[in-house]
Amino acid sequence: MADKSHGLIDDQPIIRLENVSVKYRMPQERIGTFKEYFIRVLEGKIKHRSFNALNNVNLSVNQGEVFGLIGHNGAGKSTLLKLVARVIRPTIGRVIVRGHVAPLLEVGAGFHPELTGRENVYLNGAMLGFSQAEMHEKFPRIVEFSELGDFIDAPLRTYSSGMSARLGFAVATDSQPDILIVDEILSVGDEAFQHKSFERIQSIKAQGATILLVSHSMNTIESMCQRAAWLHRGQIVTMDTATAVVDQYLGRVSEDESRQLSMAGHAELPGGEKEYKPIEIRQVRILNHQNHEQQTFHTGEGMQVEIEYLAHEPIDSLEVGIAIHRQDGVHITGPNTAFDGLDIKAPPGVGGVIYDIPSIPLMEGMYHLSVALVNRAGNVILDYHDQYYFFRINNHGHDVHERYGVMTMRGEWHML
Amino acid sequence: MESQPTLNVVYDSTRRGSVIFEELREIFNYRYLLLQLVRRDILTRYKRSFLGVAWTMLNPLGMMVVWTIAFSQFFKASNLPSYPSYVLSGLLAWNFFSQTTTASMVNLVWGGGLLNRIYMPRTSFAIAAMGTGLVNISLSMVPLIGVMFITGLKLHWSILFTPISVLILVGFALGVGLLISTLAVYFPDIAEMYQIVIMAWMFLTPVMYPETILPAQYRGLITALNPMYHMVKLFRIPIYFGRLPTLAEFLIPLGISVIVLLIGWTVFTKKSDEFAYRI
């Protein structure tokens, strides 16, 4: 496969996929032993289920382009990257890749904990296909970029995860590849390292490399890629400019989410009607400042959480609380009426409170909202919807400069 | 100057020659990787031990002592001069075979996740295992010669033939290693099963006992049909017996080695495209 160019003209795309399908053929049940296998063969009972990881994909990426791939997990993004990295071959179709492909590995893939940083650099370089002479030449630069200093001669098991991430990244990106494959690598390591790797990728890009980028961050896709493709169930849904594809993708995502939300709204609330509650949460709405229900906000936008309750008996000292969790479970905040000195006497019937957030400080992501009604007398939870509501922060198309972390402090910079 | 192996080249998934030869060319391109993998195996194996690589020599020596204490009285009637040298020479060849074949398989199955992420010639792990085995067997020659010297066995010039014996053994081990690696990718149980097979196989091979103790009616069957019998013998002849092998003693193992290697290489490379789907 390493034949010299067979007369491919220079303005042809650097990566081309023609009618590519990848079909994984999986036994329907896992057959792990010989005995079982032979019994099945004799019975003629081996059934295979084929699973199309990619289905008739056509794709061209030009030299110097930064091309983004988006889609849900299992949509075929990684399979596509593997085809380009020639780790797997297509079941049907043709893959043409021109030039040296450098894949960015997950942190520490191929590293051995007992070897020193130095030994690992040479081993890793060899795995990436470099010769001894090349590795000797690269070594000082790699050490410098990784900022490991004297640690380079310590065994890798003594490194922090950030240190091995830096080292792995330094080895993979030291040379100028023709094609760089980046699979969510920007989300590892500490912030400083993320920034540094971001800059390194920019400089590789500036020198004319083609980059294939998979990311779940629409900001990254939009800010780095010229074009992008949206993969869904092994097929390309849209291939266009990155902005257009991200727009479409987010449109669909928020549609899906609204549908989920309204379905959830009709579903029976937790606890159901069976159990008697002196007071219950009747309705929770997440509104923008125009009083419209909304699921997707951007950082800095105003938000109101409207909570309606129905009291079946008078509650003398009601406390209404909410909690916001990031999708990964981090508890962001938990304001309640008692903290803010609001004492609620709820007579029987419908009542409600609004929690007004003038400007959401949260960065991009999915957030869950919990609502609780508590009787302050005795501190009894009367009704509780645990992470039952959600909203998304998406800064796409909005003037938000900050990129990292959970929240913005809305600080300002001044010259000293 | 050596440049990046794939720079300025076109990879076209539909254009490929025979996988069998393509793998050979890739292995040549990635020869530095082989060196690094061997280096890794040797460095990491003894990294935390005080005696380090010396264990490569001490291990077979210790085994030899155990075997000698256990069996030298038992086999006295067989009139073997220097039973320790006999055992040790057989053990070196046997250990080479069992360790390299097991390592080929284990490295592919356990280290194979890497093959899912970056391209490397798939035979790298098996070939590197042979390289590691070669380093070990070379180092182990030192205690072997020492034991022969101490037990009063004469060294003969025929010992210079040993590298050829080892090369033939490498071919056979690589062939077997590739075959069982292929199997182990599909049936993980093979890895466990192989340990038992290799144990039984060792007892069926005259490694620590002289072949003369085998019952005459089975001797021909056990020896002629057992490839490792020929391999161990070819290794032993120039060292322990101090003579050059006869033509038959040379050609039979050579033939077995070449055939098994060809079969193993072909099966492995033909199936290796599927590995990334499986591992």
* Interface predicted TM-score (ipTM) of this complex, two decimals: 0.84
Flag whether residue B4 sits within 8 Å of chain A, measured between CB atoms. yes
- Cα(B147)–Cα(B92) distance, integer angstroms: 13
Give the model's confidence band at A262: pLDDT under 50 very low, under 70 low, under 90 confident, else very high.
Answer: low
Contact of B39 with chain A, judged by CB distance below 8 Å, is answered with yes
Query: What span, in angstroms and rounded, lies between the C-alpha atoms of B95 and B173?
Result: 11
Tell me how far CA of residue A159 lies from CA of A139, A166, B211, in angstroms: 18, 10, 54
* Residues sharing a CB contact under 8 Å with residue B206, sequence separation 6 or more, in sequence order: B90, B214, B223, B229, B232, B233
**Residue A147 pLDDT > 90, yes or no?**
no
Q: Which pLDDT value is given to residue B171? A: 97
Distance to chain B for A357, nearest Cα, Å: 45
| Residues on chain A touching B38 (C-beta within 8 angstroms) | none
- Is B20 touching A (CB cutoff 8 A)? no
> pLDDT tens digit string along A226-240?
899 999 888 898 898
Measured distance CA(A315)–CA(B212) in Å, rounded? 99
**Contact in structure between A339 and A284 (CB atoms under 8 Å):** no
Task: Report the number of distinct structural domains present in chain B.
Answer: 1
Beta partners for A229?
A69, A239
> What is the DSSP secondary-structure string of A222-272?
HHH-SEEEEEETTEEEEEEEHHHHHHHHHHHHHHHHHHHHHHHHHSPPTTT
Residue A57: C-alpha distances to residues A20, A63, A94, A231, A233 (Å): 5, 19, 10, 9, 11
Counts of helices then strands in chain B (DSSP H, E): 10, 1
Q: Residue A378: is it exposed, middle or buried by C-beta count within 10 angstroms (0-12/13-18/19+)?
A: exposed
As given in the structure block, the two tokens for residue B106 are 């284990």
Identify the H or E element spanning A297.
Answer: strand A296-297
Range from A253-262, B73-82, B136-145, B258-267 that averages highest in pLDDT = B258-267
Provide the pLDDT for residue A44. 58
In a domain, B7, yes or no: no
Answer whether B277 touches A (CB < 8 Å).
yes
pLDDT at A43: 62
Question: Cα-flanking dihedrals φ and ψ of residue A41, to 5°?
Answer: -60, -45
The pLDDT, as a whole number, for residue A2 is: 40
B160 to chain A, closest Cα gap in Å: 32
Radius of gyration of chain B (CA): 20
- How far is it, in rounded angstroms, from Cα A70 to Cα A232? 9
Q: Residue B253's closest CA among B205, B198, B194?
A: B205
Q: How many CB atoms lie within 10 A of CB A272?
A: 7
Check: CB of residue B124 under 8 Å from CB of residue B30.
yes
> Quick check: A82 pLDDT over 80?
yes
pLDDT of B186 reads: 83
Residue with the two structure tokens 């998979």: A214
Q: Which residue has the higher pLDDT, A34 or A297?
A: A297
How far apart are alpha carbons A1 and A81 in whole angstroms? 18
**What backbone torsions phi and psi does residue B91 show, to the nearest 5 degrees?**
-65, -40
Tell me how far apart the alpha carbons of residues A143 and A152 are, in angstroms, rounded to a whole number: 7
Per-residue confidence (pLDDT) for residue A49, from 0 to 100: 64
- Identify whether B15 is part of a domain: no
How far is B149 from B143, CA to CA, in rounded Å? 10
The answer to whether the CB of B210 falls within 8 A of the CB of B75 is yes
List the single residue in B11, B14, B15 with the smallest CB-CB distance to A86. B11
Other CB atoms within 10 A of residue B35 CB: 16
Work out the pLDDT band at A254, boundaries 50, 70, 90. Answer: low
What is the CB neighbour count within 10 angstroms for residue B22? 15
Name residue, tokens 């039973």: B83
Distance, in Å, from the CA atom of B89 to the CA atom of A280, rounded to the nearest integer, reads 84
Q: Is the predicted pLDDT of residue A221 greater than 60, yes or no?
A: yes
C-alpha span between B163 and A145 (Å, rounded):
45
Domain positions in chain A are 15-100+177-250, 269-393
A65 vs chain B: nearest CA distance in angstroms?
18
Name A137's Cβ contacts closer than 8 Å, sequence gap at least 6: none
State the Cα angle at A213 between A208 and A218, rounded to 5°. 120
| Nearest CA-CA distance, residue B263 and chain A, Å | 21
8 Å CB contact of B11 and A109: no
Which residue bears the tokens 């007398």?
A377
Chain A residues in contact with B2 (beta carbon < 8 A): 131, 133-134
Of B103, B22, B43, B35, residue with least CA distance to A125: B35
Query: Looking at residue A271, what is its pLDDT?
Result: 45
Which range has highest mean pLDDT (A194-203, B115-124, B178-187)? B178-187
Percent of chain A past pLDDT 70, that is, above it, reads: 82
Q: SS3 for A359? A: coil
* Cα distance between residue A199 and residue A203, in whole Å: 6
Higher pLDDT among residues A171 and A219, named by residue: A171
Check residue B5 and give its pLDDT.
40
Considering only CB atoms, B119 lies closest to which of A32, A85, A155, namely A85
User: Residue A9 above 50 pLDDT?
Assistant: no
Task: Give pLDDT tens digits for A293-318.
Answer: 887 888 888 999 999 998 888 888 89
- Cβ atoms of A146 and A170 closer than 8 Å: yes
Q: From its phi and psi, is residue A132 left (phi > 0), alpha (psi between -120 and 50) or beta?
A: alpha
The pLDDT confidence band at residue B108, using thresholds 50, 70 and 90, is confident
Pick the CATH number of A15-100+177-250 from 3.40.50.300, 1.10.10.10, 3.60.10.10, 3.30.2270.10: 3.40.50.300
pLDDT at A187: 56
User: Mean per-residue pLDDT for B28-53?
Assistant: 86
Chain B residues whose beta carbon lies within 8 Å of the beta carbon of residue A133: 1-2
Section A269-277 average pLDDT: 57
Q: Which residues of chain A neighbour B184 with C-beta distances below 8 Å? A: none
Q: Which residue has the higher pLDDT, B132 or A129?
A: B132
Structure tokens at A380: 């009894």
Q: How far apart are CA A186 and CA A177, in angstroms?
A: 18
Q: How many CA within 13 A on the CB side of residue A375?
A: 15
Digit-coded pLDDT (tens) for A372-385: 998 888 788 888 88
Q: With a CB-CB cutoff of 8 Å, which residues 78-117 of chain B face chain A?
A: 113-117
> Each residue of B215-247: pLDDT tens digit?
888 888 888 889 999 999 999 999 999 899 999
Helix B247-278 vs helix B19-29: crossing angle, to nearest 10: 90
Cβ-Cβ pairs closer than 8 A, A with B, add up to 150
Which residue range is the domain that position B169 belongs to?
Answer: 22-278
Check: CB of residue A149 under 8 Å from CB of residue A140.
Answer: no
Bridge partners (DSSP) listed for residue A241: A227
Q: Which of A175, A89, A196, A139 is nearest to A185 (CA)?
A: A196
Q: State which residue of chain A sits closest to B120, comparing Cα positions.
A: A127
| Strand pairing category for A380-393 and A296-297 | parallel
Chain A CA closest to residue B14 = A94
Architecture in CATH for domain A269-393: Distorted Sandwich (2.70)
Asked if A82 and B188 come within 8 Å (Cβ–Cβ), the reply is no
Q: Which of residues 41-80 of B touch A (CB under 8 A)?
A: 43-44, 47-48
- Closest CA of chain A from B241, distance in Å: 41
- Nearest-neighbour CA in chain A from B119: distance (Å): 5
- Residue B44 to residue A110, Cβ atoms within 8 A: no
Residue type (1 letter), B50? F
The rounded distance, in Å, linking the Cα atoms of A129 and B120 is: 8
Interchain pair A90, B114: CB under 8 A: no
Tell the residue number behind the tokens 């969790």, with chain if given: A325
Q: How many CA atoms lie within 13 A of A178 on its CB side?
A: 21
Mean pLDDT over residues B136-143, rounded? Answer: 91
Percent pLDDT > 90 in chain A is 17
Question: What percentage of chain B carries pLDDT values higher than 90?
Answer: 44
B205 with B150: CB under 8 angstroms? Answer: no
Query: Which comes out higher in pLDDT, residue B84 or B76?
Result: B84
Burial classification of residue A347, based on how many CB atoms lie within 10 Å of its CB (0-12 exposed, 13-18 middle, 19 or more buried): exposed
* Residue of B177 and A317 predicted with greater confidence: B177
Closest CA to A69 of A166, A198, A182: A182
Distances (CA, A) of A217 to A214, A224, A225, A404, B164: 9, 11, 12, 11, 59
Counting Cβ atoms within 10 Å, is residue A35 exposed (0-12), middle (13-18) or buried (19+)? exposed
According to the per-residue pLDDT averaged within each range, which of A16-30, A92-106, B228-242 is highest? Answer: B228-242
> Distance (Å, rounded) from C-alpha B175 to C-alpha B263?
7
Say what the pLDDT of residue A269 is.
46
**pLDDT over 50 (residue A158):** yes
- Assigned token pair, B236: 């032993």
What is the pLDDT confidence band of residue A396, given thresholds at 50, 70 and 90? confident
